[in-house]
Amino acid sequence: MPSHDDKPSGAFLSRLKTGLSKTRELLLMNVEAIARGIGPVDEHVLTELEEALILSDAGADLAREYVVALRGKWRRGELPDIDALRKELRRMIAATLAPRMVPMSVAPPYPFVVLVVGVNGVGKTTTIGKIAHQLREEGHPVLLAAGDTFRAAAIGQLRVWAERVGADFIHHKEGSDSSAVVFDALRAAKARGSHAVLIDTAGRLHTKAHLMEEMRKVVRVIGREVQGAPQEVLLVLDATNGRNAIAQAKTFREFTGVTGIVLTKLDGTAKGGVILSVTKETDVPIRFIGVGESVDDLRPFDAASFASALF
């Protein structure tokens, strides 16, 4: 069975480069010398770069760490010009992200259960549809479970995705117990031989403890029905939320045992540096990144490609 950890296609890299344009502009255009790619490195350039990294939501600690290292290299004569500085910063960013570049792998024993969580509006349902598309392309029988029973629109949206990608679909009526939906979905997956079950959930404010406790109940139901499940708990984060995504990640990890992150909407923000904050402060792998609405605009995360697109 082919893996979906393949290198990003040329078309996706082009969209990633375009999507990161706002972040790139913040990082480079605000540091005029780096934008021009000419002239010597000096203290002013390094100070401006640190401020730009913080504004991109890379985090103050990491920005300082980068600039301290760059300043040391500059003083040792290892950064003779702006082009050398840019190349070194690209290398440092790729090195920061590389340990978190762990693709999701759907493997036996089946069903492989993926619980998708996150706050309202981050794109969970769309993300599920896109991941289902990739798994179907690899030949996996997939079942989608409409665990977001609070919104009829979410159920309808997931049904459309199921039909579009050729996946099975399990739902109950609006207002039903989401744990009951999950229970029926897992029973159906075992009966039908599904390789993967992707479970949608209602958007939950990470600050509301009682809602997070409900999520724990869903996790317990999954574990009782399928031994070792959920094998994957994907937290969907909206890059436009910037540093607030860090708080979300920490809380969801506490309540649901997040195993991987999907960072969406990188194309709509100057805060693309948040991917650095997330990896540095949560120690959770980045499974996928999204840079658009197309079904192919969500891809397994590749650290080198991200760093390259950023510069």
Burial class (CB in 10 A: 0-12, 13-18, 19+), 213: exposed
Instruction: Look up tokens 């969500």; give the residue.
Output: 298
Q: How far is CA 107 from CA 123, 143, 198, in A?
A: 25, 15, 14
| CB-side neighbour CA atoms (13 Å) of 298 | 28
**35-55 pLDDT, tens digit each:** 566 668 889 889 989 988 888
Cis preceding linkage at 2, omega within 30: no
| Rounded-to-integer distance, Cα 228 and Cα 12, Å | 34
Residue 246 DSSP SS3 = helix
pLDDT of the chain along its 311 residues, tens only?
334 445 566 777 787 888 777 777 767 666 656 656 666 888 988 998 998 888 888 889 999 999 999 999 999 999 988 888 989 999 999 999 999 999 999 999 999 999 999 888 888 999 999 999 999 999 999 999 999 888 888 899 999 999 999 999 999 998 888 899 999 999 999 999 999 999 999 876 545 666 677 788 889 999 999 999 999 999 999 888 878 888 888 888 877 789 999 998 887 777 788 888 888 888 899 999 988 778 888 989 999 988 888 77
CA 125, 127, 128, 129 torsion-angle sign: positive
**145-158 pLDDT, tens digit each:** 999 888 888 899 99
Q: Specify the pTM.
A: 0.88
Residue 30 DSSP SS3 = coil
Amino acid 103 reads P
Amino acid 189 reads A
Q: Residue 185: which residues within 8 A CB-CB, separation 6 or more?
A: 143, 145, 147, 170, 197, 199
CA 242 vs. chain centroid, Å, equals: 13
Interior CA angle at 187 toward 182 and 192, to 5°?
120
Alpha helices in the chain (DSSP H): 10-19, 21-24, 32-36, 43-55, 60-75, 82-97, 124-137, 152-165, 178-192, 209-225, 244-256, 274-282, 303-310
**And the tokens for 112?**
């492989």
